[in-house]
Structure 1
Amino acid sequence: MPPEQHAEQHDDILLEASDERGILRLTLNDMARRNALSEAMLARLRESLDRAAADNTVRVIVLAAHGPAFCAGHDLKQMTAVRDAPDRGRAYFTELMAACSGVMQAIVDNPKPVIAEVAGVATAAGCQLVASCDLAYASPEARFATPGVHIGLFCSTPMVALSRNVSNKHAMEMLLTGELIPAESAADIGLINRVVPAEELTAHVTGVAHQVAAKSSMTVATGKKAFYRQREMPLAQAYEYASGVMVENMLARDAEEGIDAFIGKRVPEWSDR
């Protein structure tokens, strides 16, 4: 079993809990709306992610959910309610999409690794949320879809994260058919890392989180930032950029300590700088 969580912070839609090894667990808790990315949920997620990014005691973030749905995407009832506005909701939709995109980028740009723990259905922007995380593990009960095409609304923003995690053909199949895919298929195409038995999922994710948290946070943050930046560059530019990152990393205190510890066959003592 994972270590006991403490310092839990309760509110209606998002729960926060941290453990003594620097794991911050954010749990979507709006089961009545299938953990939809409502205005309030997006605001809370962004606030928590930004706060965690600046908190030196947080080393890894786990994103989980209560209920049968990990996240059902946007709250369509909330979105439909603004259609009577003079602009038919254009201003509201624009603001909502910007907020959602901001949350996804706050995950990618966060210096702390973010791990999705998926025990239910993740659809549309919920699937986008999983794809935006650095790592993702799911139970066999999990399902994934970008089903907007069923209701005349192509999942264009989920497409951004999805297409950066799986091949073009697999992404387009999900986007064009809108069909749910099982957890095993999601693992096969690279949307998630691995399928884990439901009763072991939290312990497995916590174990991975603790493994990552034991590394130098400076090294992890450097590597995460470099990974996403080089991915969008042409090959020669990516190597030039990554070489510069490697040089600066070699000059960092933790790289010096880590190499000395490896040569001396001892456990390194990180200073996170």
Structure 2
Amino acid sequence: MADVVAFKKEEPNGLLLREVNGPVLRLTLNNTPANALSIALMQALAAELDAAAGAKEIKVVVIAATGKVFSAGHDLKEMTLHRADEDGGRAFFETAIRLAADIMLKIARLPQAVIAEIDGLATAAGCQLVASCDLAICTDSSTFCTPGVNIGLFCSTPMVALSRAAHRKQAMEMLLTGETIDASTAKDFGLVNRIVPQQYLRQVVDKYAAVIASKSPQALKIGKEAFYRQAEMPLADAYDYAVGVMVENMLGNDAQEGIGAFLGKRMPEWKED
């Protein structure tokens, strides 16, 4: 495997928009018209996720996009230019694809819940981004696909996220055919949680974010990590692991406060983790 090379790009200059509303961080892909995941955009997104991980005031992260395309995936024009490199582009391809994979891992490991807000097409690594988020809410006109097979490039890295979000046979259907599915089919496949009219998309996402942000940050952090870890374990091992997690959670301050508030018929007062 080739060494990952740090390809320096110009400053993002608006490729990623950042907005904070109380405990909610909204990151908006702004590389129109296709919101391609260029090196510069991915570096900006990775940096924001790293910063959010250590920001106790942030409880929820929303990933949205401007324009009619949520994301068309990797910037194929940028990648094609590097075929002229001495190594045929190998080092650049490794860097770009690895950077995308690292972003998906950052989302899974982020202590905060991450919500994808989709209005338009999410394709290839853009679909991977949707599948990697904890929740996904889309408009009724949104569409999804993993079309690599159509251009001789199987969507192997999108496959990792897709096969963990959608049902296995439905994920294979998307990967093998490369065909575009509509929002209703994406919901049936398990790729998205909710479908809403376009005019209500932001309102619904904000409501989800507010509800999640109102919960115990300690419980959310523990629970999200446990969810992804147990999902990769055999059933008996998952229960053994979850028992330990829940015992430690019960011993925590937030569980004591939350149970006390429930029994005392009052609202809980969460402490910063």
Task: Please list the CA deviations of residues 209-252 of structure 1 after superposition, one character each: whole Å capped at 9, or x if unmatched.
Answer: 00000011111010000000000001111111100000000000
Kept after mapping to 2: 8 A contact 1:26/1:61 = yes
**Alignment length (residue pairs):** 262
Aligned equivalents of 2:133 and 2:192: distance in 1?
A: 9
Kept after mapping to 1: 8 A contact 2:24/2:62 = yes
Match in the other structure for 2:87: 87
Kept after mapping to 1: 8 A contact 2:56/2:272 = no
Task: Please list the CA deviations of residues 46-68 of structure 1 after superposition, one character each: whole Å capped at 9, or x if unmatched.
Answer: 00001011011111000000000
Give me the identity figure in percent: 55
The reply on whether 1:16 has 2:18 as its aligned counterpart is: yes
Match in the other structure for 2:210: 210
The reply on whether 1:169 has 2:177 as its aligned counterpart is: no
Aligned equivalents of 1:11 and 1:140: distance in 2?
A: 31
What are the residue-to-residue correspondences of 1:1-273 with 2, within 5 Å?
A: 11-20=13-22, 22-32=23-33, 34-273=34-273
List alignment gaps of at least 5 residues for structure 2.
1-11
Specify the SS of the correspondent of 1:195.
Answer: strand
Specify the SS of the correspondent of 1:25.
Answer: strand
The normalised TM-score by structure 1 is 0.94
The normalised TM-score by structure 2 is 0.94
Kept after mapping to 1: 8 A contact 2:37/2:73 = yes
- How far does residue 86 in structure 1 lie from its aligned partner after superposition? 2.0
Kept after mapping to 1: 8 A contact 2:138/2:195 = yes
Amino acid at match of 1:221: K
Q: What's the C-alpha RMSD, in Å, of the aligned pairs?
A: 1.0
Amino acid at match of 1:12: G
Task: Please list the CA deviations of residues 149-180 of structure 1 after superposition, one character each: whole Å capped at 9, or x if unmatched.
Answer: 11000000000000001111100100011011
Aligned equivalents of 2:194 and 2:13: distance in 1?
A: 31
Task: Please list the CA deviations of residues 183-232 of structure 1 after superposition, one character each: whole Å capped at 9, or x if unmatched.
Answer: 11101111000101110010000000000000111110100000000000
Match in the other structure for 1:5: none
Aligned equivalents of 2:41 and 2:243: distance in 1?
A: 39
List alignment gaps of at least 5 residues for structure 1.
1-9
Amino acid at match of 2:137: Y
Kept after mapping to 2: 8 A contact 1:219/1:272 = no
Task: Please list the CA deviations of residues 80-127 of structure 1 after superposition, one character each: whole Å capped at 9, or x if unmatched.
Answer: 001112211111111111111000100000001000000010000000
Aligned equivalents of 2:64 and 2:85: distance in 1?
A: 35
Q: Deviation above 2 Å: which 4+ runs of structure 1?
A: none
Match in the other structure for 1:4: none
